Amino acid sequence: MVGSSSGIDRRPTRSMTIGPCVGLLVLMSLVYGTSTPSWARQSTTDAPRGKRGPFTASFGNPAQPAANPLGAQDPQRTAVGNSATQVLPDPTAGGQRSTTLNDQSASSGWQQHAPGGPQTQSSPSVPQEITKVTQTFSQLPNDGGQVWREYDIRPYTLQISAADKPEQAVKDWILKHTGVDLWFADPLGILHASREKVIVYHTPEIHNQVKPIIDRFNYTQGQKVSAQVHLVTVGSPNWREVAYPYLEPVAVSSQHVEAWLISRENAALLLNQLSRRTDFRSHAAGTMTVANGQKLELKRETPTQFIRSLRWTPGDVTPVQPIMSQINVGYSLAISFLNSLDGRTIEASITCNVDQIEKLNQVRIPISLQAQQRGLIGRATNTADTLTINVPQFVSWRLHERVLWPVDQVLMMSCGVVATPSNEGGRSGGALAQLLAENATRADALLFIDYRGPATGASLQTAEAVTPDSLRPLSPPR
């Protein structure tokens, strides 16, 4: 039978609830983070017939309104851009409720517009526990046979009054021998240093590497040691033609670095011959004193300013302003010595960084043309037609090595033909002229280290302040 009022087939003995619509609304609330209306959460099986939700169609009851068939066009449902708006009946307010979902509301929640005014509902709260955290163990895991040991370093640290954290040198030397990655991989390892002790939790094999290093610190009790250091450059590497028969190669880790051992007598003769060359430059020479294990750093840097870019300022009298930049060019040399227990060998950690501007490339910017394109032609008459900016051609080299050699030999190292450590050297025009020169200044950088042993004889004394002033000039070799 077909009803005359709604045009929908009604059968008086059969009623059907459109359950998929309720399930679809629940699914949409889970996907878009919206709240499920109370009428949608009502169970369709428990509701009495004829009093179910608005998406329940009763057949055979002329008093119940019919719902839109699935797939029918709803004149109140629209879609604009990336947002969709659905108008749903609001049984509590007696009006209509509009739920808007778009790119912005998907992340910040949805807004409910009621007849009384907009009401903002926040997005679902973030779970309080995202990462699972377990309680600490009653004892440390030792699946790799790790052992907890504490090493007393007070015989060394109490003698170092100049450094704020003398224990840092002990930890640094341990990491140089064991490597850093070992303490962040399996099995679990712990390395902690305070002014009183060093705590190590690792396998017995690692303890066998750590204890000899700490013994070398405690044995010297912070005694000062001295060494003669020369940092020079030679324009051409052809000095090797005469010197190679007197050099004994030493294995190093860096591929671009060469190292040799040479006797003190031959080292003095080689320096004397190199100093007579016209391409010879001495950048640092003198005697350095430093506490055993501590680091002495020498720096010589010169700030260099240049015009890096331009800034357009339409509101000013001059519509364009230069942007200045600064680069510190020069070198830094850091050396740390660690004595052996028998005193026959010396181990040194050497770090040298050189940063230079090889060339300042000049670029002319047409100001008038840029002003026309930006609509500033009327204000650009007080400026020059072009302005020059500089693009630096930057060069640098790094040296980081740890070398062990006999105390009666001189260590000599070369990084090859690289940028010179400094722009000084007695040339006319000074550093600025060299920076603007068309040809780059490159040379063979050579480092001579002559370890001289304890600075104050065989007695063990308290270490004094470690400053760059402790580098005293040496007389030229004869």
* Structural tokens at position 458: 């065989």
Locus of tokens 């939790």:
201
Alpha-carbon Rg for the chain in angstroms: 40
| pLDDT value of position 20 | 55
Round to whole Å and give the CA distance between 170 and 173.
5
Write down the pLDDT at residue 61: 46
Q: Is 51 a domain residue? A: no
Q: Are 121 and 111 in contact (CB under 8 A)?
A: yes
Question: What local confidence, expressed as pLDDT, does residue 433 receive?
Answer: 33
Asked, for residue 78, whether it belongs to a domain, the answer is no
Pair 179, 252 in one domain: no
Are 293 and 184 in a shared domain? no
The per-residue pLDDT for range 233-279, each reduced to its tens digit, is 999 999 999 999 999 999 998 888 999 999 999 999 999 999 999 99
Give yes or no: residues 338 and 455 share one domain: yes
Residues 6+ apart with CB under 8 A from 90: 96, 97, 114
On whether both 444 and 319 belong to a single domain, the answer is yes
This prediction has a pTM of 0.61
371 and 299 in a common domain: yes
Closest CA to 152 of 81, 217, 232: 217
5 lies in a domain?
A: no
Report the C-alpha gap between 413 and 250 in whole angstroms: 9
Of 285, 334, 216, 293, which is closest to residue 463 (Cα–Cα)?
A: 293
Span 181-205, pLDDT tens digits: 999 999 999 999 999 999 999 999 9
Is 93 within a domain?
A: no
Residues 215 and 339 in one domain: no
Residues ≥6 apart with Cβ < 8 Å to 144:
186, 187, 188, 203
Instruction: Give residue 300's pLDDT.
Output: 85
Residue pointed to by tokens 């630096």: 392
Per-residue pLDDT at 25: 58
Positive or negative CA dihedral for 209, 212, 218, 220?
A: negative
- Per the CB < 8 A criterion, the answer to whether 399 and 257 are in contact is yes
Q: Which residue type sits at 299?
A: K
- Please indicate, yes or no, if residue 79 is contained in any of the structural domains: no
The pLDDT score that the predictor gives to residue 139 is 84
Q: State how many domains the chain has.
A: 2
**Can you tell me whether residue 151 is helix, strand or coil?**
strand
Q: How far is 401 from 254, CA to CA, in rounded Å?
A: 7
Query: Measured between alpha carbons, how far is 293 from 12 in angstroms, rounded to an integer?
Result: 100
The predicted structure's pLDDT at residue 370: 58
Residue 134 domain-assigned (yes or no): no
pLDDT of res. 29: 58
* Among 185, 220, 255, residue at a domain's last position: 220
The predicted structure's pLDDT at residue 203: 96
Say how many C-beta atoms besides its own lie within 10 A of residue 261's C-beta: 18
DSSP letter at 423 equals S
pLDDT of 218 reads 96
Q: Residue 139: inside a domain, yes or no? A: no
For residues 306 and 283, state if they share a domain.
Answer: yes
| Residue pLDDT tens, the chain, 478 long | 444 444 444 444 444 455 555 566 555 655 555 554 554 454 444 444 444 444 444 444 444 444 444 444 444 444 334 434 444 444 444 444 444 444 443 444 444 444 444 555 566 788 888 888 887 778 888 899 999 999 999 999 999 988 889 999 999 999 999 999 999 999 999 999 999 999 999 999 999 999 999 999 999 898 999 999 999 999 999 999 999 999 999 999 888 899 999 999 999 999 999 999 999 999 888 888 999 999 988 888 888 899 989 887 776 666 788 899 998 888 889 999 999 999 999 999 999 888 888 888 999 888 765 555 555 544 444 445 788 899 998 888 888 999 999 999 999 999 888 777 765 443 333 333 333 333 447 889 899 999 999 885 433 333 333 333 344 333 333 3
Region of residue 418 (phi > 0: left; psi between -120 and 50: alpha; otherwise: beta)? beta
Q: Which domain holds residue 300?
A: 224-470
pLDDT confidence of residue 138: 80
Residue 4 exposed, middle or buried by CB count within 10 Å (0-12, 13-18, 19+): exposed
For residue 61, tell me if it sits in a domain.
no
